[in-house]
């Protein structure tokens, strides 16, 4: 059996999206800024895509800026808000400890420039508390940036409530909604957000394209200097095919969302129940307030990396929270932030199901994971210490 269970890392391009893209990669190659027919065809396609994207999140087309993806949208939203804040004498930002690195590293850069950042705890369930956010706000707070859904443990933040608090205090609220858009209902008005980042390849669109929503009336600095594209905020010839693919993929994802969410939630809970039967294991993050497709576990006494390689041998493609693949020995900052100790955080597994997942596949994953975990423990020195009583079990 072959199962791709790493949909939080990226998703398969939808057929409809590919079909919408192809003409702009072949015959219709005009530049949207050109005045002749082929250019205007491309311009119309980009503007139609902008309307579709806007409609899918309850925005108006003029509030959508296409970018090269989620990372760019995060960087630009935060840097723009910070620079404008600084001009008004406000250099305090509120965020949390489990943000994506596109947000955390941007905040680190701002800290070096003199900004002060309050990182709210995400607690054991991976969710920030609105009271703590409220208490962290100051007169010099220029921005709150809290993600919609976490990419590792799938937890959903109380975005609507956070937005309402920010709104009542007149503070700008940005949310990294890369994992949420196309997967759970997102509406910029109901959710009280001022800026929102999204990425196409996380909802069956193409890689290298995404968008930033900026509420009308919120000032935005230009993020790439050059031509007048994207209303003068982001220069560069538009990724016409990518933008068209983004719109079609998002429209499709939103259309299929109710059915997919229902089906995936049932499969997710089946998977959680099955994996929880493996001794000395634990689910990461809130069991209910999480994305329909996300299952994240820690298994004591093993290395996540070895688990991934052995699962891959058995046809299962998944991910681990431990960051050894990126050349670092540190386990995931998210798992540490929710209170997993180093050893436990190293034994993590993230499974993110696709829309085409089946019960049969879920049962296969449960069986294979159980076998591989037992096998790895059979020669793990850490596990030996645990069973012999030299070290204490945590899970």
Ligand X SMILES: *Cc1c(COP(=O)(O)O)cnc(C)c1O
Active site residues: 324
Backbone angles phi, psi at 322, to 5 degrees: -75, 145
Q: Which residues of 177-193 are buried (b: 16+ CB within 10 A; e: fewer)?
A: bbbbbbbbebebeebbb
Of the two residues 210 and 301, which places its CB atom closer to ligand X in the complex?
210
Quote the tokens at residue 226.
């050059």
How far apart CA 60 and CA 107 sit, in angstroms, is 29
**Closest approach of ligand X to the CB of residue 199, in Å:** 3
Segment holding 114, helix H or strand E: none
Q: CB of 200 within 8 A of CB of 242?
A: yes
Of the two residues 42 and 102, which places its CB atom closer to ligand X in the complex?
102
Of the two residues 43 and 183, which places its CB atom closer to ligand X in the complex?
183
Q: Is 133 exposed, middle or buried (0-12, 13-18, 19+ CB in 10 A)?
A: buried
**Closest approach of ligand X to the CB of residue 148, in Å:** 8
Of the two residues 69 and 85, which places its CB atom closer to ligand X in the complex?
69
Rounded to 10 deg, the angle between the 240-276 and 37-56 helix axes is 30
How far apart CA 219 and CA 351 sit, in angstroms, is 39
Of the two residues 100 and 215, which places its CB atom closer to ligand X in the complex?
100
Where on the chain is the footprint of ligand X (CB under 6 A)? 69-71, 74, 100, 102, 147, 151, 176, 178-179, 199, 202, 210
**Closest approach of ligand X to the CB of residue 49, in Å:** 17
**Closest approach of ligand X to the CB of residue 152, in Å:** 9
Where in the chain does DSSP place strands (E)? 3-4, 64-67, 92-96, 116-120, 141-145, 172-176, 195-199, 210-214, 281-283, 294-299, 316-317, 348-352
């Amino acid at each position: 059996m072959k199962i791709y269970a790493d949909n939080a890392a990226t998703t398969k391009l939808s057929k409809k999206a590919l079909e919408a893209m192809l003409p702009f990669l072949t015959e219709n190659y005009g530049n949207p800024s050109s005045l002749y027919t082929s250019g205007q065809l491309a311009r119309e396609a980009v503007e139609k895509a902008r309307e579709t994207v806007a409609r899918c999140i309850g925005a108006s087309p003029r509030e959508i800026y296409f970018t090269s993806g989620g990372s760019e949208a995060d960087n630009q939203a935060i840097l723009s808000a910070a620079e404008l804040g600084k001009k008004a004498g406000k250099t305090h930002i509120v965020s949390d400890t489990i943000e994506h690195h596109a947000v955390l590293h941007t905040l680190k850069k701002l800290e070096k420039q003199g900004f002060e950042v309050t990182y709210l705890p995400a607690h054991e369930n991976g969710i920030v508390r609105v009271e703590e956010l409220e208490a962290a706000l100051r007169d010099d707070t220029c921005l709150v940036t809290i993600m919609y859904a976490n990419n590792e443990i799938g937890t959903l933040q109380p975005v609507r409530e956070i937005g309402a608090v920010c709104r009542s205090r007149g503070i700008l609220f940005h949310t990294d909604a890369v994992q949420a858009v196309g997967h759970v209902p997102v509406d910029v008005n109901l959710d009280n957000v001022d800026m929102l980042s999204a990425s196409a390849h996380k909802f069956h669109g193409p890689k290298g394209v995404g968008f930033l929503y900026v509420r009308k009336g919120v000032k935005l600095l230009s993020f790439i200097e050059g031509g007048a594209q994207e209303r003068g905020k982001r220069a560069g010839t538009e990724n016409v095919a990518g933008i068209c693919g983004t719109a079609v993929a998002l429209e499709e994802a939103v259309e299929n969302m109710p059915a997919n969410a229902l089906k995936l939630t049932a499969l997710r809970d089946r998977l959680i129940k099955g994996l929880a039967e493996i001794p000395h294991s634990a689910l990461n993050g809130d069991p209910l307030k999480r994305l329909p497709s996300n299952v994240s576990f820690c298994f004591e006494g093993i290395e996540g990396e070895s688990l991934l390689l052995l699962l891959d041998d058995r046809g299962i493609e998944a991910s681990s929270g431990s960051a050894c693949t990126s050349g670092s020995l540190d386990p995931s900052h998210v798992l540490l932030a929710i209170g997993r100790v180093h050893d436990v955080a190293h034994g993590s597994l993230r499974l993110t199901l696709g829309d085409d997942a089946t019960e049969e596949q879920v049962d296969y994953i449960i069986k294979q994971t159980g076998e591989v975990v037992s096998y790895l423990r059979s020669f793990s020195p850490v596990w030996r210490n645990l069973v012999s009583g030299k070290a204490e079990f945590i899970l």
